[in-house]
A and B are shown apart, each in its own frame.
Chain A
Amino acid sequence: MSTRLLQRLFFGAITLFLAAPIVIVAGVSLNERQTLAFPPQGLSWSWYAEIFSDPGWRGALLASLALATLSAALATAIALPLAWFLWRRYAPWANIFRLLGVAPFVLPPVITALGLLSFWVTAGGYGQPWTAVISHAIFFVTLPLVTLTLGLDAIDRSLIEAASTMGADDRTVLRTVVFPLILPNLVCGYAFAFVLSLNEYIVAYMTIGFTLETLPIKIFNALRYGYTPTMASVSIFFIAISALVFTLVARWGDLPRLLGALPSDEH
Chain B
Amino acid sequence: MRREPPRRAADYAPLVFPALMLLVFFVVPFGTMVAVSFFRRQPGGFYTPDFVLGNYERFLSPFFGNVLAFSLALATLAAICAVALAFPFTYLLTRRPRRVQTRWLIGLLSLLSLSEVIIGFAWSTLFSRTAGITNLLVALGLMSQPRALLPSFGAVLTGMVYQALPYAVLVLYPALVRLDPTLIEAARTLGAHPARAFFNVVVPALRSTIVAALIMVFVFELGSYLLPQILGRPQHWTLSVLITDQAIYQSNMPFAAAMALFLVLLSLALVGLTLLIGRKEGAA
Contact = CB atoms under 8 A, between A and B. Distances in A.
Q: Do chains A and B touch in the complex (CB under 8 A)?
A: yes
B135 interface: yes
25 contacts: A7-B92, A18-B165, A25-B121, A78-B17, A81-B17, A85-B14, A89-B5, A101-B22, A110-B225, A110-B243, A113-B244, A115-B30, A115-B32, A116-B29, A119-B29, A141-B22, A201-B116, A216-B117, A219-B121, A235-B121, A238-B114, A239-B118, A243-B106, A260-B174, A261-B98
Interface string B240-253: 10011001100001
B131 A28 contact: yes
Given A24-B126, A108-B267, A118 B29 contact: yes
Interface string B30-45: 1011001000000000
B219 A106 contact: yes
Contacts of A25: 118, 121-122, 125
- Chain B's interface: helix, strand, loop or mixed, by majority? helix
A88 B11 CA distance: 10
Interface in B130-175: 130-133, 135, 162, 165-166, 170, 173-175
Interface in B201-258: 219, 222-223, 225-226, 230, 240, 243-244, 247-248, 253, 256-257
Contacts of A160: 1
Contacts of A107: 219, 223, 263-264, 267-268
Interface of B: 1, 3-6, 11-12, 14-15, 17-19, 21-23, 25-30, 32-33, 36, 85, 88-89, 92, 97-98, 101-102, 105-107, 109-111, 113-126, 128, 130-133, 135, 162, 165-166, 170, 173-175, 177-178, 193-195, 219, 222-223, 225-226, 230, 240, 243-244, 247-248, 253, 256-257, 260, 263-264, 267-268, 271
Contacts of A7: 92
B125 A21 contact: yes
Interface string A224-250: 000000011001001100110011001
Contact of B243 (A77, A94, A114): A114
A70 interface: no
A94 B128 CA distance: 52
Contacts of A184: none
A242 B109 contact: yes
A135 interface: yes
B33 A118 contact: yes
Contacts of A17: 162, 165
Of listed B1, B33, B36, B133, residue having the most chain A CB within 10 A: B1
A43 interface: no
A129 interface: no
B14 A84 contact: yes
A44 interface: no
Interface of A: 3, 6-7, 10-11, 14, 17-18, 20-22, 24-25, 27-28, 35-38, 77-79, 81-82, 84-85, 87-91, 94, 97, 100-101, 103-104, 106-119, 122, 134-135, 137-138, 141, 157, 160-161, 164, 170, 173, 192, 195-196, 198-202, 206, 216, 219-220, 223, 231-232, 235, 238-239, 242-243, 246-247, 250, 255-256, 259-262, 264, 266
B213 to A, nearest CB: 13
Contacts of B109: 242, 246
B219 to A, nearest CB: 7
A164 B101 CA distance: 39
Nearest to A168: B1
B14 A223 contact: no
A260 B177 CA distance: 8
Contacts of B267: 106-108, 111
Given A38-B131, A103-B26, A106-B219, A94 B110 contact: no
Given A24-B122, A110-B244, A250-B106, A97 B219 contact: no
A261 B33 contact: no
A157 to B, nearest CB: 8
A100 B26 contact: yes
Given A107-B267, A231-B121, A259-B174, A14 B15 contact: no
B202 to A, nearest CB: 13
B18 A78 contact: yes
Contact of B32 (A20, A91, A119, A164): A119
Contacts of B243: 110, 114
A185 to B, nearest CB: 16
B40 to A, nearest CB: 15
Contacts of B131: 24, 27-28, 36-38
B25 A22 contact: no
A245 B177 CA distance: 24
B5 A90 contact: yes
A91 B178 contact: no
A256 B118 contact: no
A130 B187 CA distance: 59
